[in-house]
A and B are shown apart, each in its own frame.
Chain A
Amino acid sequence: MPDLSEALDQLASHDPARSLSPLASSEREAIRERIVSEDPSMPPLRTRTYPRWRRLTKRRISIGSFGVAPVGLLAAFAVTAVAAGAVITISATTLFQADPQGSNFNGDIETVLPSTVHEIDTVSVPDYGQVEVWGATTKPGGFCFALKLPDGVWGGLDSAHPGPDGWQGGWAGGTVPGCLQTQQQQTLKYGGTATGQALEEWESLVRNKAGQTYSIFVGYVEAQGVAATVRDSANGVTAPVSSDGYYALVERTPMTARPPDLPAGFPKEMVCASCDAKDLQVLNAAGQRLRPDYTSGAMLPGYTAGPTPGAS
């Protein structure tokens, strides 16, 4: 058995990249040209509605689908309504059917089943108000979520009030509804391993009057056994799991403290993209942690045949 020093030497000497040939200069130059052809003053399209430091967090739904015709109509309606001082009263079904996100996952179009559109929960955000959480099942077996903010506006549609740093009326989270695939769905379609998580999550941010940021995690549980709560083990915050497997958890946006001796010029937002301090776990009524289940989990509401890959 090697001692530590020998083992570290072996590790260094077994660097697998030693055998890696440099990229062909023509390819490297092509990449460089593609990069420098980008206007550096323009943020990437997908990040335009997010606070920049959050742009690499998981499952943030991309903005950019507002060019899709029905969504364009929705957005136009929203702008007109706000300009006229009216409350935006787009129905949940209309919103979900409009499919602003496009919801195309590797060829799967996550077409919402209208009969499954329902309010999952109402959550309370301190110094912000009540937020309605709406969800729906999609034809291929995924799901979509949207939040109705305290003033009755759908988060993400208040394009007349973009606010600084992408905040829209104190909300940031990208195009709504945000759609996800279940891990069961992905496992069936692509094979291989899933993420190892017993839940799916879609995160939105809201900023209250005091300037504090709260995260609203919305998602679906895929766990063995009967799920009762979702708990962030990092801080003990819990949220109930509904009988049909959904949850909505609110907590102060979980981040580790900013490193004290970060070198000058280091992009803090990039650091914080991976320093979420949360750890969402699924527990049963006895408080035991449940393992993920990607093969025989409960079917999503309104869905009778189970996740079927490759929606027609």
Chain B
Amino acid sequence: MQSSEAREARFNEIYEQHFEVVRRYVWRRDPLIADDIAAETFLVAWRRLEDVPLDAVAWLIGVARNVRLNELRSARRQTAVSDRLAREPLPITTETDATTSDTVEAALSCLPERDREILLLSAWEDLDRAAIAAALGCSKANVKVRLHRARRRFTDELKRQPLASSHFHPATLSGGSDA
């Protein structure tokens, strides 16, 4: 049993080390609720500190993912967020190599949510298979299969894409369904 001081010290360490990682994970998908979801995620971590593994990042992303999906499942939250998203500008980043990026964006947007999520966990969160498995709550073998299929479908979609005209904008790709 940890003393309350030791418990808080451990939490503080995890919080300092990973808060921005979790916040960025949510922000990439839902910028407007990123701070709320990150805070909720660390509240879960505080309550369940004994369950947080030493390498906490995948655990935290898994929790953040579930908290976010739960928020999105709530229709009133979803409609409110959608409404706000429709009114407010989303975080645009780079505009280099726009034509090719448009193709990537278009191909990505054609993928099922579960394919997108696993590709983005790899590309943006830089998680390896074991960490993705932990974040998604599935086996490493399952991640391997899902990643393979997602890449194959992504390749197929890339081949189908005409040259698009809009700018690359990953934030618009975030969906509310389960990955």
A binds B: yes
Q: How far is the CB of A187 from the nearest CB of chain B, in Å?
A: 7
Closest chain A residue, CB of each to CB of B155: A4
Contact A17 B139, beta carbon cutoff 8 Å: no
Hey, what's the 0/1 contact readout for B103-118 against A, CB within 8 Å counting as 1?
1100110000000000
Hey, what's the 0/1 contact readout for B40-80 against A, CB within 8 Å counting as 1?
00111011110111000011001101110110011110111
Interface centre among A19, A35, A259 (most CB of B within 10 A): A35
Closest chain B residue, CB of each to CB of A8: B123
Q: How far is the CB of B19 from the nearest CB of chain A, in Å?
A: 6
Alpha-carbon separation in the docked complex, A31 to B37 (Å): 12
Contact B124 A12, beta carbon cutoff 8 Å: yes
- Any B CB within 8 A of the CB of A211: no
- Any B CB within 8 A of the CB of A85: no
> Which range contains the number of B residues in contact with the other chain?
35 or more
Interface centre among A17, A193, A195, A261 (most CB of B within 10 A): A17
Q: How far is the CB of A107 from the nearest CB of chain B, in Å?
A: 11
Q: How far is the CB of B175 from the nearest CB of chain A, in Å?
A: 10
Interface SS of chain A: helix, strand, loop or mixed?
A: loop
Hey, what's the 0/1 contact readout for A1-24 against B, CB within 8 Å counting as 1?
111101110111111111110110
A interface residue numbers (CB < 8 A to B): 1-4, 6-8, 10-20, 22-23, 27-28, 31-32, 34-36, 38, 40, 43-44, 56-59, 105-106, 181, 183, 186-187, 190-195, 259-267, 270-275
Across the A-B interface, give the 5 residue pairs with the lowest CB-CB distance, nearest first: A271-B137, A192-B82, A58-B73, A17-B24, A192-B83
Q: List 27 A-B contacts (CB under 8 A).
A: A1-B103, A4-B151, A7-B154, A10-B168, A11-B119, A11-B124, A14-B93, A14-B168, A15-B28, A16-B27, A35-B15, A36-B8, A36-B11, A56-B67, A57-B70, A58-B70, A187-B79, A191-B86, A192-B82, A263-B58, A265-B51, A266-B134, A267-B48, A267-B63, A270-B63, A270-B137, A271-B66
